[in-house]
Structure 1
Amino acid sequence: MREDVESLDISDVTANWVNAAVLEHQIDERIKSLADLAHTPLFFGRLDYMHAPGADQAEGAEGERFYIGRRHVHDADGDPMVIDWRAPVSQPFYRASKKDPMDVALRRRFGYTGGDLTAYEDEHLSDPAEAARTSKLLQQEIERPRVGPMRDIVATIQPEQDEIVRSGLSGTVCVQGGPGTGKTAVGLHRVAYLLYAHRERLARTGTLVIGPNASFLHYIEQVLPALGELEVKQATVDDLVAHVDVRGTDDPAAALVKGDARMAEVLRRAVRSGVTMPTEPVVVVRGSRRWRIPAYELEELVQELLDRDIRYGAAREALPQRIAHAVLVRMEQSGEAPDDRVQDAVARNAAVKAAVKAIWPAVDPAKLVLRLLSDAEFLAAHAEGILDEEEQKAIIWAQHGSGKRAPRSVKSAKWSAADAVLIDEVTDLVQRTHSLGHVVLDEAQDLSPMQYRAVGRRCTTGSATVLGDLAQGTTPWATPSWDVALRHLGHPGAIVEELTAGFRVPREVIAYASRLLPAIAPELTAVESMRETPGSLTVRRLGEAADLDAAALEACTESLRHEGSIGLIAADARIPALAEALTAAGMPYLSPGEETTPDTRLTLVPASLAKGLEYDYVVLDEPSAIVDGEPDERTGLRRLYVALTRAVSGLTVVHAAPLPKQLAEPHF
């Protein structure tokens, strides 16, 4: 297929060089999409249907076999050899069962080792004598070591996951899933499915995957290309709102207020405060005639625009046309016959432009937010009845620091990430933000209400897939419920689905971590892992004289004897000491987001960056230090819950200080 595209001759098929360049680019993109991917087999399953298609039969043909794979493959005659996993005929591969075979007689799974076909397994769905059983190949694929970036799960998608993946484009879906339930993979595969089912529409409107940080995006960036989707963009929330250079940080109290949804009304008031009711008439001179629009009529025009509550910039653009129209009415009343060109000319008249500048001045979003955060009187005027005095004081001092002079310009201000979100809100109040066709928002539980609004602006006319776990919310403003989050996002009617079957974390490990749930998220159902891995959990308590650094390194050395990636997760404050110890011991290590190699499989992970990552073996250093590193116990226990659930094959907990009471007994 790739050679056929490469051999295309387009020298005489285009009308001009522009069309030729566009066609050449499209061909190049097609060639890229057909590239071979090392160790990524094209097909992983086969379906044998029982009957030919009919009015009440599943899609398929009598005696026909369909090989299911990551991409569509056809032979030289155009006949299909491999069917795309997203096609309707492939759906029974994921959903067919003994109870409902969906007209499938046999389902075959193929097993691979290093890209080579090494095994297959048949399931006779139509044979009542054959008992239902768990697929060994499916289990092996789930438990395969995690070396390198995140991989796709097209060969292991479960029925409840497939329902979410194939849900329609028009509706927003929120997926609540505990650690290892595959929610991130479900979100990415849903994008791939939507691009298959609605390619033309999404090609026009665009798609976007939003992750919590650059390390996470690097980890997942190969999933969609492996499925043949090369055009999906990825970003963090900070990337979306990068209107200013972020160089500062907020204390928790200030960040909490700035992230509160009430700030949206404060900003709206501040933006509209620039509008001043006219006190003088506008006099337009054209030739020998003078046309006068009195102040009361101008006030009516301004009030009408304010009452319509349209965006500030759109109203400002409409005002000169409204004034010009009023002038044209007077011209017509005097017997003239002006046309649209005259109206446009009047709208550009110096007197009209001067009046608009005075009545409805232009707003610079960054300058407005700077004034709001550095001028106590200005803030108080627009936060009255919304923020109390302590809240106002918190964000004023957060901007320029106690005892320091307020910044004089946008460039000199040390903007925080929360400030950038406020500027994005004002930018949208002035001019509408471009909306995409579909947005995937991962690790959504950690977003503030204002951040939800920033994401929601990017999908006002589209839909979203929201992914997260309320138990893993570790920010002071973490969302209390998905209903609240979806309301801030602008999609209050979204369906909330919960995934409770775990496929990544071993049963012993997830059961140990789930002891924290009553304290951090009592309303959630604990994950029930499908993986029984005896001996996957070890908890080591050190004596008073023991060297914690040395014990952590010893546990890493033991883990490195196994195949796969190793993550040494510790409280952020412990990272420098562990880094020094690793270097002194001659043990090479990576930072989160860097790819493992056969020689370097150990990653040193600050607890604050562990969310969304996974490793075959995890060594968890001093749990109490992780809890103590957060502003309150509940947030600390949530951070610990995240760290405990990063392991795929084994977890070793090393501690000298007492464990949190929820984990204290029994010892392993």
Structure 2
Amino acid sequence: MPRTHHDPVADAVPAPPPAAAPDGDPLVRERAHLAASRAALRVMRDEVESLDIRDVTANWVNREALEHQIELRIEALADHAHTPLFFGRVDFLTAPGPQPAAEAAGERFYIGRRHVHDAAGDPMVIDWRAPVSQAFYRASRAEPLDVGLRRRFGYTGGELTAYEDERLSDPVGPGAEGGPGASALLQREIERPRVGPMRDIVATIQPEQDEIVRGGLTGTVCVQGGPGTGKTAVGLHRVAYLLYAHRERLARTGTLVIGPNRSFLRYIEQVLPALGEVQVRQATLEELVGHVEVRAVDGARAAVVKGDARMAEVLRRALYAQVTVVEEPVVVVRGSRRWRVPAYELAEMVEELLGRGLRYGAAREALPQRIAHAVLVRMEQAGEAPDDRVQDAVARDRAVKAAVKRVWPPVDPATLVWRLLSDAEFLAEHAAGLLDGAEQRAVLWERASRGVRSARWSTADAVLIDEARDLVERTPSLGHVVVDEAQDLSPMQYRAVGRRCSTGSATVLGDLAQGTTPWATRDWATALGHLGKADAVVEELTAGFRVPREVIGYASRLLPRIAPGLAAVESVREAPGSLTVRQVEPEERESAVLSAVAEALGREGSVGLIAADVRVPDWTAALAAAGVPHLAPGEETRAEVRLALVPASLAKGLEYDRVVLDEPAAVVAGEPDERTGLRRLYVALTRAVSGLVVVHAEPLPPALDG
């Protein structure tokens, strides 16, 4: 069992200066190293800020690009006072022969969020992503990896106040591998109250999480993880690791994090900058496919059909049906000569391009050159000697342009989708054998717009347009994409994500039990096939670190109904009293909820009042009448306002120290079917990190009753 050493004074008040304690006190030495490391980091930043590039760049373009890189470097070297610069230390043994960390044998390394070196270039803090840092996360008494001592540090308000030593060279005994619960500092860090955006977990990464984080760039990984298993944090730390290990490559190809909504992205937006990564784009899927303004909402049936992968083939058929049968020859006039390309030869060119599987737009751009080449062959046969300039001129000839427009017309993706959704005959022609009559009627607009500009597009329509755009012109691929809450994506949405990493890799994060859309993912193999990553590795996280055992156990009673066969999360945290279920009379429900909120606000940390969406306006009024400051849906908690009013539909992915859940039956009833409603309830029940109070007047779902 690791032994924890505290400074009792420092835990209560700011730590005294190092000189105030005995010279032999390890805390004094560690605080001195922290102070020296912070000073070295300031010097590193000052050196970058003082760079003079006036005589380095050749022109203003290079100067602006270099200035931008310097600004990013300065930002990455920022020292945040309340963010520990290092959180651990590993002391390697001096051992002969090859060792997993032989290059570090006998040396001591401090592990932190970024690299810090002294004036001589010697490391004072090692980046947590460096190879030598891996031993800090994975070493155990069973496999010490040449580590003699692992030390964890505890902080209070940015001051180093405690340390905990684990001597891995000690003999392995019963209970030696106690997991995170065996470390008091680790447990305290996990349970630390959370107000504001999501924090990084770099100090608490577990071996199974570290293995996923440090996976290679070329492979796609899918992480199935229940509430509190840290899958979102693992995905974000994986991005940070890949940028460290493959920075030059990803600097060229780019990275992207896709979240389910803006509230979620605001919640996680500080994690990567805290790790020194400030250039990762974060977006919702709706923003990625935002080629048109979304002003309509589909019914469940229409959304399911529009999101079905069969729609990709419908779109492909409709697009390539625009290529017409060749009936006329092309006649090009050059000076006094006329050059004729017969209809059958032109038809062969069209068939050849169709058979090559090119994008519609790329094939259309190639056709004029094919025609021009045929003309040049005839010129050469007639004794002329045309060059490339002549071929380009022929390709731009009015007769050639007219023939291409007639045979292979330009297509606007939005117009193509508009016609499919507004023209029953056009849809029936291209959906034959794919969609039955009922499905075709489901996707057709009830009131067809007169044109694309007046169309009321839905989110699913925008995804269809994105698919059509890719059929016309290839979507640029990024080096790595992370998509969170992936279980809620439709097949067509998976395809939209897959297009953006077609030549790169992806990290897919989700939980099948939390799927709350009508098209929610049922198995990862099928979903990964739609993504275009059928060979992806699926990793399952089953150890819970955030949600107390009592809370996750209560919520897991729903699993046999919402996700049969899925393993329940086994929380490592016991927190007696963390779950309270209060049944009240209907007329007492509001006062009971307000009382529970007041109790939660009387303790440390953030508080979330989660309610069915339909009840949110009533709770907005009730909280205002009671004089309780709160944040509107979509806003994050902060120190001065710790209570957030959260619609059940926006709760996914968010965490609060304490949660008050109003009327579970209303959450279930707010969804189109019971199973989806129970999944929404499962999400709401698992947002609490320290305590959950369930208030209900209506009967609970049978699985939770009793």
Q: TM-score range by the shorter chain?
A: over 0.9
Change (3 A) 1:616 1:56: closer
Helix, strand or coil for the counterpart of 2:703?
coil
Kindly report which structure 2 residues correspond to 1:219-298, keeping only aligned pairs within 5 A, or say none.
219-298=267-346
Q: Residue 682 of structure 2 aligns with which residue?
A: 641
Q: Which residue, out of 465, 470, 494, partners 1:423?
A: 465
One-letter amino acid matched to 2:133: S
**CA shift for structure 1 position 48:** 0.3
Kindly report which structure 2 residues correspond to 1:122-161, keeping only aligned pairs within 5 A, or say none.
122-128=165-171, 132=176, 133=178, 134-161=182-209
Cα deviation code 1:430-464 (max 9, x no counterpart): 00000000000000000000000000000000000
> Does 1:440 find its partner at 2:488?
no
One-letter amino acid matched to 1:304: E
Q: Residue 441 of structure 2 aligns with which residue?
A: 393
| RMSD value, Cα | 1.2
Helix, strand or coil for the counterpart of 1:459?
coil
**CA shift for structure 1 position 53:** 8.4
Q: Which residue, out of 648, 668, 686, partners 1:607?
A: 648
Cα distance in 1 for residues equivalent to 2:474 and 2:63: 35
> Does 1:170 find its partner at 2:212?
no
Cα deviation code 1:363-402 (max 9, x no counterpart): 0000110011000000000000000000000111xx3x3x
**CA shift for structure 1 position 58:** 1.5
Q: Which residue, out of 90, 99, 102, partners 2:145?
A: 102
Kindly report which structure 2 residues correspond to 1:507-656, keeping only aligned pairs within 5 A, or say none.
507-544=549-586, 546-656=587-697
Cα distance in 2 for residues equivalent to 1:304 and 1:251: 42
Helix, strand or coil for the counterpart of 2:520?
coil
Cα deviation code 1:270-290 (max 9, x no counterpart): 000110011111100000100
**CA shift for structure 1 position 61:** 3.4
One-letter amino acid matched to 1:408: R
* Number of residue equivalences: 658
**CA shift for structure 1 position 19:** 2.7
More moved, 109-118 vs 583-592: 583-592
Cα distance in 2 for residues equivalent to 1:340 and 1:55: 63
Whether the aligned pair in 2 keeps the contact of 1:49 and 1:60 (CA below 8 Å) is no
Cα deviation code 1:603-653 (max 9, x no counterpart): 000000000001000000000011111111100000000000000000000
Cα distance in 1 for residues equivalent to 2:620 and 2:486: 31
Cα distance in 2 for residues equivalent to 1:433 and 1:62: 48
Q: Residue 61 of structure 1 aligns with which residue?
A: 104
Whether the aligned pair in 2 keeps the contact of 1:53 and 1:60 (CA below 8 Å) is no
Cα distance in 1 for residues equivalent to 2:423 and 2:62: 55
One-letter amino acid matched to 2:359: R
Kindly report which structure 2 residues correspond to 1:196-215, keeping only aligned pairs within 5 A, or say none.
196-215=244-263
Helix, strand or coil for the counterpart of 1:117?
strand
> Does 1:302 find its partner at 2:302?
no
Cα distance in 1 for residues equivalent to 2:66 and 2:528: 41
Identity %: 76
Cα distance in 2 for residues equivalent to 1:552 and 1:366: 48
**CA shift for structure 1 position 57:** 4.6
Q: Residue 451 of structure 2 aligns with which residue?
A: 409
One-letter amino acid matched to 2:311: M
**Unaligned segments of structure 1, at least 5 residues:** none
More moved, 304-313 vs 497-506: 304-313
Helix, strand or coil for the counterpart of 1:422?
helix
**CA shift for structure 1 position 543:** 2.4
Cα distance in 1 for residues equivalent to 2:138 and 2:419: 57
> Does 1:325 find its partner at 2:373?
yes
One-letter amino acid matched to 2:640: D
Q: Residue 80 of structure 1 aligns with which residue?
A: 123
Q: TM-score, normalised by structure 1?
A: 0.97
Cα distance in 1 for residues equivalent to 2:279 and 2:597: 39
Change (3 A) 1:464 1:270: same
> Does 1:500 find its partner at 2:536?
no
Whether the aligned pair in 1 keeps the contact of 2:93 and 2:148 (CA below 8 Å) is yes
Cα distance in 1 for residues equivalent to 2:633 and 2:258: 18
One-letter amino acid matched to 1:262: R
Helix, strand or coil for the counterpart of 2:509?
strand
Whether the aligned pair in 1 keeps the contact of 2:605 and 2:658 (CA below 8 Å) is yes
Q: Residue 6 of structure 1 aligns with which residue?
A: 49
Whether the aligned pair in 2 keeps the contact of 1:517 and 1:526 (CA below 8 Å) is yes
One-letter amino acid matched to 1:490: G
Change (3 A) 1:57 1:610: closer
Runs of 4+ in 1 over 6 A off after TM superposition: none
Helix, strand or coil for the counterpart of 1:91?
helix
Q: Residue 118 of structure 1 aligns with which residue?
A: 161
Q: Residue 232 of structure 2 aligns with which residue?
A: 184
Cα deviation code 1:522-542 (max 9, x no counterpart): 121000001100000000001
Q: TM-score, normalised by structure 2?
A: 0.92
**Unaligned segments of structure 2, at least 5 residues:** 1-43
Whether the aligned pair in 2 keeps the contact of 1:443 and 1:469 (CA below 8 Å) is yes
Cα distance in 2 for residues equivalent to 1:536 and 1:505: 10
Cα distance in 1 for residues equivalent to 2:670 and 2:64: 56
Cα distance in 2 for residues equivalent to 1:253 and 1:359: 37
One-letter amino acid matched to 2:659: V
Cα distance in 2 for residues equivalent to 1:647 and 1:261: 36
Whether the aligned pair in 2 keeps the contact of 1:219 and 1:593 (CA below 8 Å) is no
Change (3 A) 1:237 1:53: farther
